[in-house]
Amino acid sequence: TALIADMFRSCGITAHRAGNMGIPLAPALAAAKPADVLVLEVSAAQLENVHAFAPSIAVITNIQPEHRNLYSWQTYHGIK
């Protein structure tokens, strides 16, 4: 997440990062201007019941069979 935000910044694009790395989405969203980019790190638990989240671009940087106590691999893969 930090690397992707830094890549945008190195191109002169204002990028805000938020999500699972300890930076809440609300303040990042409030600080962002329409031309800015938001780079979000989102967990399966955060996505599980969200049906209206539709980013313009999505990048999956890591998907592994984690949280086996919560999800089957198929369910986890589908959520991510």
pLDDT digits 0-9 by tens, 59-78 = 887 777 666 777 777 777 77
Q: How many domains does the chain have?
A: 2
Residue whose C-alpha is closest to residue 13's, from 27, 41, 40, 32: 32
Q: For residue 67, what pLDDT is reported? A: 66
Clarify whether residues 8 and 36 are in a common domain: yes
The number of C-alpha atoms within 13 Å of 7 and in the hemisphere containing its C-beta is 6
Q: For residue 38, what pLDDT is reported? A: 94
Residue 7's alpha-carbon distances to 2, 10, 43, in angstroms, are 9, 5, 22
Clarify whether residues 26 and 10 are in a common domain: yes
Q: Which residues of the chain have pLDDT under 70?
A: 65-67, 79-80
What pTM value is reported for the model?
A: 0.72
- Cα gap 25→41, rounded to integer Å: 10
**Residue 18 sits in which domain range?**
1-41
Q: For residue 69, what pLDDT is reported? A: 73
Clarify whether residues 78 and 46 are in a common domain: yes
